[in-house]
Amino acid sequence: MPEGKIVKALSGFYYVLNKEELIQCRGRGVFRKNKISPLVGDEVVFQAENDQEGYILEVKERKNELVRPPIANVDQAILVFSAVEPDFSTVLLDRFLVLVEFNDIEPIICITKMDLANELQHEKIEVFARQYRAAGYEVVLTSSETETGVEQLTPHLENKISVFAGQSGVGKSSLLNVLRPDLELKTNDISMHLGRGKHTTRHVELIKVGNGLVADTPGFSSLEFANIEAEDLTACFPEMLRASENCKFRGCLHVSEPKCGVKAKVEAGEIPGYRYQHYLDFLQEIKDRKPRY
């Protein structure tokens, strides 16, 4: 039986890429019976008479799966944040990073609209970029308007499934339009009254960019830590995970425990105070979460 990858799901149809051929398929009833819903990114076994009539017979095991946006087998997330309009937010970025790290997805931080930043804003972004690089993250500074820095993203996309994610209005589609101009993805200016974009992405689709596949998604509509437990959180902050090796107590949550390796690094200025504060805020949010029954 032929195999392929679902690259688009729309109106009950799944579009399966088999080499260079795209086959329109439906899911067999057995999936509904077993509560399996094929997702964009799934590797599948299918049967088809032609490119318009196919059936998905089997969904291969996934290495990861996101609920919002609904996509599977993601290799990396390009977290797109703007320098200005809307202003760069470390707390929102750290929330995205925790969710991505928890799902074992490699994050790349892409800061857009650098051409709109004034000198002071530019200096602030450069400081944040250095701090996130020191934590272990790849950070790329770009401008879709001048196309500066965009070429640095291209090698990261090779032979991978990448999700472009970030709040509305940061320029995800503008960035993709530079990477692949023939896409002509719709973008809209930011509504200054609402402070958010009016971008029209509605469904998840994998788009070929170079030798990689990229999902231009509607963004993470849920940024809640629904499945993350308190003891999981340290691993979602790579610099804290490294520092925790020097904690005296196993299972240290880095709050009030003595001889804590993480707090020592914060006090020494080696871990930024805002990163540690976000960790504490997220930890409290997880602890305050209502138990599920």
For residue 85, pLDDT beyond 90: yes
Give the number of other CB atoms < 10 A from CB of residue 7. Answer: 21
Nearest-angstrom CA–CA distance, 123 and 120: 5
The residues facing 81 across adjacent strands are 111
The residues facing 83 across adjacent strands are none
Cis bond before residue 69 (omega within 30° of 0):
yes
User: What letter does residue 292 receive in the DSSP assignment?
Assistant: P
Compute the average pLDDT of residues 102-123.
96
- pLDDT reported for residue 20: 84
In the block, which residue shows the tokens 């009950």? 12
- pLDDT reported for residue 278: 98
Nearest-angstrom CA–CA distance, 112 and 144: 7
Residue 107's pLDDT band, with cuts at 50, 70 and 90, is very high
Nearest-angstrom CA–CA distance, 80 and 110: 5
Residue 7's pLDDT band, with cuts at 50, 70 and 90, is very high
Residue 222's pLDDT band, with cuts at 50, 70 and 90, is low
- pLDDT reported for residue 204: 80
Q: What is the pTM of this model?
A: 0.87
- pLDDT reported for residue 76: 94
The pair of structure tokens assigned to 115 is 């051409």
pLDDT averaged over the chain? 88
Nearest-angstrom CA–CA distance, 221 and 239: 27
Q: In residues, how long is the chain?
A: 293
- pLDDT reported for residue 244: 97
For β-strands 212-216 and 206-209, DSSP reports them as: antiparallel
pLDDT in tens, 144-189: 999 999 999 999 999 999 998 888 889 888 898 899 988 776 665 4
The pair of structure tokens assigned to 278 is 């976000």
- pLDDT reported for residue 16: 96
Greatest alpha-carbon span in the chain: 67
